[in-house]
Amino acid sequence: VEKTTIAAASLTPLAGAAAGRLLFENSLSILNRTGAWHIAKDLCQEFVPHHAQARYWRLGSRGPEGLARKIAARLMMLEISWLKDSRHFLIGGKTAGGDTKVFLDPLFVLRSELTEKDIVLCHDVGPLSHSFLYDTVTVANYRIAYEKISRERPGIVFVSDWSKDKFVSLYGLNFRFLTTIPLYVRTGLFDGPLEPLSGIDGPFFL
């Protein structure tokens, strides 16, 4: 199986899908420290600042860390829950009109301008397809976010065909593009020593 790296993924036809300068909407990294955060971190390391800019909620181009990050995450989620997709106090307003915004999670389209030329990274549609696994506020916020995406019809990148198929079953095919870029081998994942497991011969499933 051919391994995909972040550098290889950047050489896809998506390079021609951007209009103007890329702006990574990386509010995700204020809140999330799971696999989605690793994708966001690798993308920003690869492209920012020479080929793109990054935006962290209302905090500009540098994300907070430590206690400041936790406080910002709480305030950010309060804003999303209170204002949802209201046109009032949108982040960036018209100032980023010439940029192609790349939203690193669908939730954060709620507090930003979203246009057809933008790109949304969709990790999965779990809050809609498996809503019983999430709290009611999360489900409601993601539902409104996906409704906004379905209205504006941006390009969407999925990390698996399963997520893409589930999204299409809910919202159809009428988007600028729908593309799957499978998860890649994360930077540094195999930098440490590799040791065989005793008693295991040949391929195995972990």
Pair of tokens at residue 32: 């999330």
CATH T-level topology, domain 6-180: Rossmann fold (3.40.50)
Whole-angstrom distance, CA of residue 196 vs CA of residue 190: 14
Non-local (6+) Cβ contacts of 186 within 8 A are 38, 42
What does the angle CA 169 – CA 174 – CA 80 come to, to the nearest 5 degrees? 75
* pTM for the full predicted model: 0.82
Q: What is the band of 93 on the pLDDT scale with cuts at 50, 70, 90?
A: low
Please indicate whether residue 93 or residue 195 has the higher confidence score (pLDDT): 195
Domain residue ranges in the chain: 6-180
Please indicate whether residue 72 or residue 206 has the higher confidence score (pLDDT): 72
Whole-angstrom distance, CA of residue 29 vs CA of residue 23: 15
Convert the pLDDT of each residue in 135-182 to its tens digit. Answer: 999 999 999 999 999 999 999 999 999 999 999 999 999 999 999 998
Round the average pLDDT of the chain to a whole number and report it: 86
Q: What is the band of 198 on the pLDDT scale with cuts at 50, 70, 90?
A: confident
* Contact call for residues 6 and 187 (beta carbons, < 8 A): yes
Non-local (6+) Cβ contacts of 187 within 8 A are 5, 6, 42, 45
Residue from 123, 125, 162 nearest 147 by CA: 125
